Structure 1
Amino acid sequence: MTLELVTLSNGVRVALDPMPALATAAVGVWQRVGARWEKPEENGVAHLFEHMAFKGAGSRDARAFAEAIESVGGAMNAQTGYERTSYYARVVSEHAPFALDLIADSLLDPHWAPADLEKEKGVVAQERGEAYDQPEDRVFELHQAALYPDQPLGRPILGTDETLKGVSVDSLIAFRAQHMAPSRVVIAIAGAFDRGAVLDVAERRFARLAVRPDAPAPPARAVSGVRIEARKLEQTHLVLSLAAPGAKDERTYAARLMSEIYGGGMSSRLFQEVREARGLVYAIDSFIDQVEETGRRGIYAGCDAANAGEVARIAADLLEAFAAEGPTEAELARAKAVAAAGLLMGAEAPLARADARANQLFLRDALIPFEAVRAKIEAVTAADVRAAAAAALEGPACAAAIGPKAGLAAAEAFRARLAR
């Protein structure tokens, strides 16, 4: 068996990624739906549906559902983002068809008691509280709101007490029905599995999905914004970002290498200057965050409030210098080595492979061998990386900060300096 794409009679795509040396498999269903498609009054519905997915389906109640997957030694989970929702299981190879059948039950044949829904709203409220109590998470939520004000991408994936208050079982099912189009569903299986058996389940369960038009995602309109939140904390937490290409853009490879050189590891420019040379922070790192058509490259830093302004200034200095000078050959070689190692390490994990295959189909409409991805990384030149750094300075700058009042001005200073 080799990497294979099978399309069901109604257009649902099935990615088969065999790893015959293994004794296990990862089985999942990915949907091109998430918080980005929610109306203001629906904020949090996609995530709440994901929470409810295992609360009763097919012939099983919530407990029987949990016992079913664990009776074969498997584990099941789900997650919701702005553009993806995924439901997946890890099982011993022989149980891969059974796991897919269970996931199909949760998505296609749910039956939930209103009382269970109300309890789960309480669970989500506790999840929100936990995120609020962790400033390193909360600052990213503030950054998202600053970047995409009054848009689905700027609202919290977990929703709010107010928006979830009126959600009913019927409204959850209606949301699912609206977005469960075959063109937005990918089944991905990686590891060791019986090809015929999993395809039989896929056809039997998912080919009955009715064909319907795809719902376009609301446009992403990034702005140069800032959000701050004064809290009695020991440190100031900063997120500072600039423009990056979207996930569908081939310039992604250069942008990711640029991010690695700038702040991705202990040898990066940012880490060496801010932590090693000056001792201004404990935690500092760069990131790339993308949706389909746009993205952000930025940094997260946690530091004493007295150091926040200097950290933001140095971050801006290094970005401008990078755009002017580009990377050295040694930096580029190290970044490529890190990217290749990450790719290969992920390729050894069935769930990571299945997730990668689903995203390839959503973003590229094709399954791309990891060797081809590595070749794209190796093909990036120093000029490409310098261009990526220069492009970062051409879009809106955005910043968020949380912590003592004394450190919050750093966010606006960064935004004001680099806003275009």
Structure 2
Amino acid sequence: MIETYTLSNGVRIVLERVPTVRSVSLGIWLFTGSRNEREEINGVSHFLEHMLFKGTKTRSAQEIAEAFDSIGGYVNAFTAKEYTCYYARVLDSYKEYALEILSDMFFNSIFLEEELEREKKVIIEEIKMYEDTPDEHVHDLLSQAFFGNHELGRSILGTERRLKAMTRDTLIQYMETFYTPKNTVISVAGNVDEQFIKEIEKRFLHFNRKDPQIVRHEPTPQYQSIVIEKEIEQVHLCFGFPGLKAKDERLMSLLLINSALGTGMSSRLFQEIREKRGLAYSVYSYHHSYVDTGMLGIYAGTTKEQLPELIEAIEKTIDELVKNGLTDQELNNKKEKLKGNILLSLESMSSRMSRNGRNELMLEKHRTLDEIIEEIDAVDQQMINETIAHIFTGKRAEAMIVPK
């Protein structure tokens, strides 16, 4: 059972008790990410995420790292387009300790100038590493091709030039604007009790900061084509199509379509492009949902000589999907696969914590397992065909990284 609480200052707590395990996963979720950045400070969300690990009023960066290592725990963070998360996984006997450290990082980070400049260098290396990994970098190019100059089209990491221009005040101003009580969700899953809610309240009830007036501009798909050259062996190709926003009632249909199209070894793209034609080692599809929009992407990598056949094979697979939809057997198989994936994910406290945190931020509601299964089972062929027609309109964005 998922329990939700809202503190008097607006901080939300999502708790899922699993008394049969000996671990606890804890995450501090912020409803802000690279989408909330002005163009001149693109990358600040990710930079701030790094800096919260670089020392507080009472702990150095090394002491933060050693604190979790010494208890056999794990701590990390990530930045997405619309949210940021700081999380830890520990034995249940150390849950209060983990909460104390995470809240110390959250409230008491000091952003020393020397740490700031050192971490800029680290992130610049991260940017270079990312750009040297074409099967990852091409997805950023696809976002740019699909969303254009909209905030969703920009890189989460930012650019070297913009990063170098950021100051301590840049981070503090961004944090004071977007790290606010109503933007904050504490998600916990594992062996916890009522007392732990009181511990969270003790750490976060004093949190008072004016909530921002966030104005999100809904993007319009641009369907651009971006091609860059690099010293590589393969062509890395991405196509982008309209998807669905996080609260869209058709989202379950889209997840089943995506599964049939390009997730797993039995998917149509895998079977046609890898198994039948041998054109690619890696080929798959994926979907990203945002507050007000979404994008379905297709990725494949092949040699320059085989690129025309690869594109033809992808187009053929899509055309068949548009013309004939899914078979009844295929739809049933993908329903069972999706249900199985959800059930298996329940074995991980980290998965439960992450799902609950995202759902509270993006959907502001939680469904029981029975409700999710019921929603999957309710998808019929008419819903599938209507969703296919929404995605594949004949227009697409394209991104390619090709050998020089």
Is 2:114 the counterpart of 1:115?
A: yes
- Does the CA-based 8 Å contact 2:178-2:211 persist in structure 1? no
The aligned counterpart of 1:255 is 254
The aligned counterpart of 2:201 is 202
Compared CA separation, residues 340 and 77, structure 1 to 2 (3 A): same
Shift of 1:74: 1.5
- Does the CA-based 8 Å contact 1:222-1:396 persist in structure 2? no
Is 2:165 the counterpart of 1:133?
A: no
Secondary structure, aligned partner of 2:231: coil
Shift of 1:293: 1.4
Take 1:162 and 1:68, find their aligned partners in 2: how far apart are those partners? 34
How far does the alpha carbon of each residue in 1:378-410 deviate from its partner, in whole angstroms, 9 at most, with x for none?
A: 2111221122111112384111111226xxxxx
How far does the alpha carbon of each residue in 1:231-285 deviate from its partner, in whole angstroms, 9 at most, with x for none?
A: 2322111111211111121211100100111122222222222222222111111
Compared CA separation, residues 395 and 98, structure 1 to 2 (3 A): farther
- Does the CA-based 8 Å contact 2:243-2:391 persist in structure 1? yes
Take 1:61 and 1:400, find their aligned partners in 2: how far apart are those partners? 42
Shift of 1:222: 2.0
- Does the CA-based 8 Å contact 2:79-2:85 persist in structure 1? yes
Take 1:248 and 1:240, find their aligned partners in 2: how far apart are those partners? 24
- Does the CA-based 8 Å contact 2:32-2:84 persist in structure 1? yes
Q: Which has the larger displacement, 132-141 or 384-393?
A: 384-393
- Does the CA-based 8 Å contact 1:324-1:386 persist in structure 2? no
Take 1:308 and 1:326, find their aligned partners in 2: how far apart are those partners? 26
Secondary structure, aligned partner of 1:101: helix
Secondary structure, aligned partner of 1:188: strand
Compared CA separation, residues 57 and 371, structure 1 to 2 (3 A): farther
The aligned counterpart of 1:332 is 331
Take 1:404 and 1:66, find their aligned partners in 2: how far apart are those partners? 41
Secondary structure, aligned partner of 1:262: helix
Counterpart AA for 1:272: Q
Take 1:3 and 1:279, find their aligned partners in 2: how far apart are those partners? 46
The 5 Å alignment of 1:76-87 reads 76-87=75-86
Take 1:23 and 1:153, find their aligned partners in 2: how far apart are those partners? 39
Q: Which has the larger displacement, 150-159 or 211-220?
A: 211-220
The 5 Å alignment of 1:337-352 reads 337-352=336-351
The 5 Å alignment of 1:19-418 reads 19-394=18-393, 396-404=395-403
Compared CA separation, residues 245 and 36, structure 1 to 2 (3 A): same
- Does the CA-based 8 Å contact 1:12-1:207 persist in structure 2? no
Unaligned ranges ≥5, structure 1: 406-420
How far does the alpha carbon of each residue in 1:121-161 deviate from its partner, in whole angstroms, 9 at most, with x for none?
A: 00001111111111101111111111122222111111111
Take 1:219 and 1:108, find their aligned partners in 2: how far apart are those partners? 32
Take 1:327 and 1:385, find their aligned partners in 2: how far apart are those partners? 8
Counterpart AA for 2:330: E
Counterpart AA for 2:23: T
Take 2:65 and 2:231, find their aligned partners in 1: how far apart are those partners? 41
Counterpart AA for 2:63: A
Take 2:297 and 2:316, find their aligned partners in 1: how far apart are those partners? 14
Shift of 1:327: 0.6
Take 1:182 and 1:214, find their aligned partners in 2: how far apart are those partners? 13
RMSD (Å), alpha carbons = 1.6
Unaligned ranges ≥5, structure 2: none
How far does the alpha carbon of each residue in 1:23-67 deviate from its partner, in whole angstroms, 9 at most, with x for none?
A: 010011001100000001111100000001111124112122222
Compared CA separation, residues 109 and 382, structure 1 to 2 (3 A): same
Take 2:196 and 2:293, find their aligned partners in 1: how far apart are those partners? 39
Take 1:214 and 1:97, find their aligned partners in 2: how far apart are those partners? 33
Take 1:328 and 1:203, find their aligned partners in 2: how far apart are those partners? 54
Shift of 1:6: 0.9
TM-score by length of 2: 0.96
Compared CA separation, residues 47 and 213, structure 1 to 2 (3 A): closer
Is 2:34 the counterpart of 1:12?
A: no
- Does the CA-based 8 Å contact 2:27-2:357 persist in structure 1? no
Shift of 1:213: 4.1
Q: Which has the larger displacement, 195-204 or 76-85?
A: 195-204
- Does the CA-based 8 Å contact 2:285-2:297 persist in structure 1? yes
- Does the CA-based 8 Å contact 1:28-1:100 persist in structure 2? no
Shift of 1:317: 2.2
Percent identity (aligned): 32
Take 1:194 and 1:49, find their aligned partners in 2: how far apart are those partners? 32
Compared CA separation, residues 41 and 10, structure 1 to 2 (3 A): same
How many residues align? The count is: 404
Take 1:108 and 1:61, find their aligned partners in 2: how far apart are those partners? 14
- Does the CA-based 8 Å contact 1:319-1:389 persist in structure 2? no
